Structure 1
């Protein structure tokens, strides 16, 4: 993506480097300058994103409003994640997105969808690599990765792939195992909190990074590892609204927070209401271990409330009709 964006001539001196002419190391070094933005430069992601969004802005008059808004709001560097209500909408949106990106020299490829009809509308060469030779009429859709999260496109659910590596029973080994679980939305927050509490106790005991942990904590850790295997069967629906749900009359975000001597946290739910039906779905969870310095329960409750308020403010632009904050 970065190579598609040129560097103005007056700025190319910032991307100078030394190299041998023609790769011949017997010749004297010469100075070269990059004409495009490079992978590894701190500035490259923001510049490439600006160029992509400016391309959409410059071509607003050619496409529907949804196309421009998708480029502005649904791209994360070179990945686009978008959900629409119907197959026809998806097919048209993919076609228009590819076209508008092409106007700026960007090529939108490796498309994935949970709909076989949508995939059939995409040329085989532009599908994700593990979909190119897939028989869409017979074979099961694969598990993909969406910004690091496992996405089962066949069942349209988020799943978790946990590699139970035989790490040593040390503080370093435990930290490595806990850090390997990628859970940005907090689906597993209550479960991971248990492991964080073990790490905190090891800090209290001043255990060395490579020192074998005490037997009591080792037993707790082995129980946690056993429960870790169960995550392979854990699934979360990707869609926040059921297929058979009618017209949404209102949408509300509800944030709950609580604290105890062991930890504190917050959880957010989205509540849809129809003419005579209500549906509630999990949105986000956050958990924290209590600080090593002893703090009263009222102060921990305030810490939990502060965490919930931050999430409430972050969701202020989500477009829901109402939001509430409840301390338990």
Structure 2
């Protein structure tokens, strides 16, 4: 393999170029085999099982496909029924095919040699797969290639696969063991479904060329791992989201903003840009080889990006620790990645800190924007001291680290969105599947446990569904439907719920704050924990609830996942 020249440097040293083309000499990027040889795709005999019905067929193992597909003819022969899930299949050169009648189902497949059974999840039916026909005479191949002798590979003639296994079920197709001969001879790979043959290096490279337009081969005995896996992620410099949200609720005046395209404002050393190299094939170009590019700005997806971004952000703040000590510390303590959230008791103080934080970021090439606050005075300070034309105002609803905050009334609220659901199982009589039940639960983001007393019932229901043994795309058993219907009624309660952002009405008078937690065992699969909060005001002997009344401030039920029994105590100076 020929070495790739170093990336050309940006013409403007003051601003990071996003992408640089790395020119590769024509004809040097890939060495192609000049030897002839047969092409063998990774086709393997399997059994598909549906209750008492068993079908013997062939599977095509394709790491170039993101989906697992089954021919509709076999789908109907087995009497399978799935969840309607229309597809749009897309290949190179913008070739597409609509599969409006596609259904998604979980299948049981078996290795015919040893009978071991496995689940294939998220299998989509299609009208016709039209995969290539393949024949193997293992006796003749074993004579020609001795390394194949003795392997449990069955011969077959004119086999057309009726199921394609893609990367979403790749644990069944990944090679566990490899038998290889010379460089251009067929390779046998053992999977959980049995042994499969694949073609010579030339054949595999040619197939890759047809599918994606990208060239390049990989030694067959080298396990495929993304380059990102070899990059050291560095120490975790991320502030605790839980702690940030708790501190955001302390002060009466709150403000938040975010840094625009934070990662892309950081320039990468030229020697390190090749860790962000990628290939780009232009289908409209006459050039047969792909172009090779590197990113000169920090990319969000690489392992080390969070550590580098946080380090640079804090390093820039350290330069202002003498000039703006409070703001410089706020940059380091009250940022969650690019989001800045802060609260205090005086609007002048909060406004000045926000202004200084903005100036500190600007000195490092970062632009903080989308300011929002519950105080008009703070926003007025930012406006009067800003040269930026963008508006700064009190918005109707602001998203703060995933929580919905209404600055006008200074409360948290819950907006129930279930974008992942492909069927409306909440406002209809449709029976949800186990997958849809989990999607509903995971769509309810609640980092502070405000609605735990509501979601715990859905978690318990999901446990019961799991114990029933049904598949991911199977509807809930009739015995559990009443519990689902009862829980759906709770959603209206959640949608109307509001929680004050600030703990106190007059925090400058609070002298002592105490949180008391008690643990009460409930039944065999949950534990209950109640948290009681009290505040003692200056010169007042009595205790009062944190919301201005005696008793419980927030009572939350937790599961046994480590949050039960949590207690804390803090004292104001």
- Give the TM-score category using the shorter length: 0.7 to 0.9
Deviations 1:262-287 (A, max 9, x none): 41143545533212153436579562
Q: Which residue of 1 aligns with 2:464?
A: 201
Deviations 1:178-217 (A, max 9, x none): 2111111111111111111111111222223233323332
What number of residue pairs does the alignment pair up?
288
Deviations 1:209-267 (A, max 9, x none): 23332333211111110121111211111001113x54222223333323221411435
Distance 2:344 2:315 in 1: 23
Q: Which one of the candidate residues 152, 155, 161 is aligned to 2:406?
A: 152
Q: Which one of the candidate residues 230, 249, 253 is aligned to 2:493?
A: 230
Deviations 1:133-159 (A, max 9, x none): xxx7xxxx4011111111111110110
1:181 aligned onto 2:431: no
Q: Which residue of 2 aligns with 1:34?
A: 295
Q: Which stretch shifts more, 97-106 or 37-46?
A: 37-46
Distance 1:12 1:110 in 2: 31
1:96 aligned onto 2:350: no
Q: CA deviation at 1:102?
A: 1.1
1:192 aligned onto 2:455: yes
Question: How do 1:242-253 and structure 2 match up within 5 A?
Answer: 242-243=505-506, 245-253=507-515
Indicate if the aligned counterparts of 1:111 and 1:126 stay in contact, CA closer than 8 A: no
Q: Which residue of 2 aligns with 1:142?
A: 396
SS of corresponding position for 2:404: strand
Larger helix fraction of residues: 1
1:278 aligned onto 2:544: yes
Question: How do 1:69-88 and structure 2 match up within 5 A?
Answer: 69-88=329-348
- Provide runs of 4+ in structure 1 moved above 6 Å: none
1:321 aligned onto 2:560: no
| TM-score, length basis structure 2 | 0.46
| TM-score, length basis structure 1 | 0.78
> Which entry has the higher C-alpha Rg, 1 or 2?
2
Which residues of structure 1 form unaligned runs of 5+?
289-302, 323-328
Q: Which one of the candidate residues 16, 19, 25 is aligned to 2:285?
A: 25
Cα gap change, 1:89 to 1:183, in 2 (>3 Å): same
Cα gap change, 1:265 to 1:49, in 2 (>3 Å): farther
* RMSD between aligned residues: 2.8
Indicate if the aligned counterparts of 2:373 and 2:407 stay in contact, CA closer than 8 A: yes
SS of corresponding position for 2:382: coil
Indicate if the aligned counterparts of 2:396 and 2:407 stay in contact, CA closer than 8 A: yes
